[in-house]
């Protein structure tokens, strides 16, 4: 019973943070500040009342429209809130209480912001990468035992990306992707970040090609969302996946 209550709280807390992530996703690409300006309707500018700020619930009660101007509110808002809540619950379920779980929750939130912004604008906000790198530094300071893993992780994938970047004169890979893999590698270690690259590349090619076929148009690949997915999987299931892979290869 206690566990269930903890899960529910993790989910609710995650949706509240998710609501802040929406602010980040909306404002960072426009270069607006994210903390002091109160939440408002993007269409008419009406400031939101407290009862319009309840994650998911407000959206459902208002049937997805602004109270004042009745303009449709993007489905992105409840989806991001729910996703962040669900991931917090998932991480708690997987890792239990502990500092690493908290660091991973914060990392997942940054990954959601990165994924949505990169999908839309093909840019990864430097602040998000910096944030994930900061989480890596906190992990290192709290527990020195994995310092080799972490330091090598800083360069393992970002180094490969940097070479691609230099050889293709910046066309093969984005600078944001390099920084993301450096920061995340520092947080989750070199084995996990290599796994994240593998998962991200496979998911990226499969999903991107399928989308292109379905929509019948050419779109540049935004790598960020797929790398974010890879990082999430590696973070939670890296050890098992790597063990399974090595056994599969006969090691
Ligand atoms: Zn409005």
The pLDDT of residue 6: 94
Ligand 1 center from residue 40 Cα (angstroms): 8
* DSSP type of residue 64: T
The pLDDT of residue 218: 73
- Same domain assignment for residues 138 and 207: yes
Q: Does residue 56 sit in helix, strand or coil? A: coil
- Same domain assignment for residues 234 and 149: yes
- Same domain assignment for residues 128 and 229: yes
In a domain, 224, yes or no: yes
**Domain final residue pick, 97, 115, 141:** 97
Domain that holds residue 140: 124-251
Ligand 1 center from residue 74 Cα (angstroms): 12
Ligand 1 center from residue 114 Cα (angstroms): 26
Distance CA 241, CA 150 (A): 19
The pLDDT of residue 172: 84
Cα 203 to the chain's mean position, in Å? 15
| pLDDT values of the chain reduced to their tens digit, one per residue, 251 residues | 888 999 999 999 999 999 999 999 999 999 998 888 888 898 898 999 989 899 999 999 999 999 999 999 999 999 999 999 999 999 999 998 899 999 999 999 999 999 999 999 999 999 999 999 999 999 999 999 999 999 999 999 999 999 999 999 988 899 999 999 999 999 999 999 999 999 999 999 999 989 888 887 777 889 999 999 999 999 999 999 999 999 988 87
Question: Measuring CA to CA, which residue among 48, 41, 231 is closest to residue 135?
Answer: 231
- Same domain assignment for residues 165 and 48: no
Ligand 1 center from residue 220 Cα (angstroms): 33
- Same domain assignment for residues 79 and 11: yes
Number of domains in the chain: 2
In a domain, 108, yes or no: no
Ligand 1 center from residue 201 Cα (angstroms): 40
In a domain, 31, yes or no: yes
- Same domain assignment for residues 148 and 208: yes
**Are 113 and 28 in contact, with CB atoms under 8 Å apart?**
yes
- Same domain assignment for residues 90 and 129: no
Sequence-distant (6+) residues with CB within 8 A of 136 are 150, 153, 154, 183, 184, 186, 187
CB burial class (10 A; 0-12, 13-18, 19+) of residue 59? buried
In a domain, 176, yes or no: yes
The pLDDT of residue 167: 94
- Same domain assignment for residues 130 and 235: yes
Q: Say what the pTM is.
A: 0.94
- Same domain assignment for residues 18 and 84: yes
In a domain, 117, yes or no: no
In a domain, 110, yes or no: no
- Same domain assignment for residues 76 and 173: no
Residues within 5 A (CB) of ion ligand 1: 41, 43-44, 66, 68-69, 71
The pLDDT of residue 215: 83
The pLDDT of residue 129: 98
- Same domain assignment for residues 198 and 149: yes
In a domain, 104, yes or no: no
- Same domain assignment for residues 170 and 61: no
In a domain, 139, yes or no: yes
């Amino acid at each position: 019973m206690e566990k269930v209550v903890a899960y529910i709280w993790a989910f609710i807390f995650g949706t509240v943070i998710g609501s802040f992530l929406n602010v980040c996703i909306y404002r960072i690409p426009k270069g607006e500040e994210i903390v002091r300006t109160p939440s408002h309707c993007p269409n008419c500018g009406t400031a939101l009342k407290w009862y319009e700020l309840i994650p998911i619930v407000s959206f459902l009660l208002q049937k997805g429209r602004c109270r004042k101007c009745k303009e449709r509110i993007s489905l992105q808002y409840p989806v991001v809130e729910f996703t962040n809540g669900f991931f917090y619950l998932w991480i708690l379920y997987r890792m239990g209480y502990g500092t690493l779980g908290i660091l991973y929750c914060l990392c997942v939130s940054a990954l959601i912001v990165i994924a949505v912004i990169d999908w839309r604008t093909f840019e990864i906000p430097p602040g998000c990468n910096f944030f994930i790198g900061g989480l890596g530094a906190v992990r290192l300071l709290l527990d020195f035992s994995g310092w080799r893993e972490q330091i090598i992780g800083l360069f393992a994938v970002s180094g490969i990306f940097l070479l691609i970047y230099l050889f293709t004169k910046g066309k093969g890979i984005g600078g944001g992707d390099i920084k993301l893999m450096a920061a995340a590698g520092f947080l989750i270690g070199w084995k996990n970040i290599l796994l994240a690259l593998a998962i991200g590349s496979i998911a990226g090619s499969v999903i991107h090609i399928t989308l292109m076929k379905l929509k019948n148009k050419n779109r540049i690949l935004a790598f960020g969302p797929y790398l974010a997915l890879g990082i999430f999987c590696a973070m939670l299931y890296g050890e098992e996946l790597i063990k399974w892979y090595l056994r599969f290869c006969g090691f």
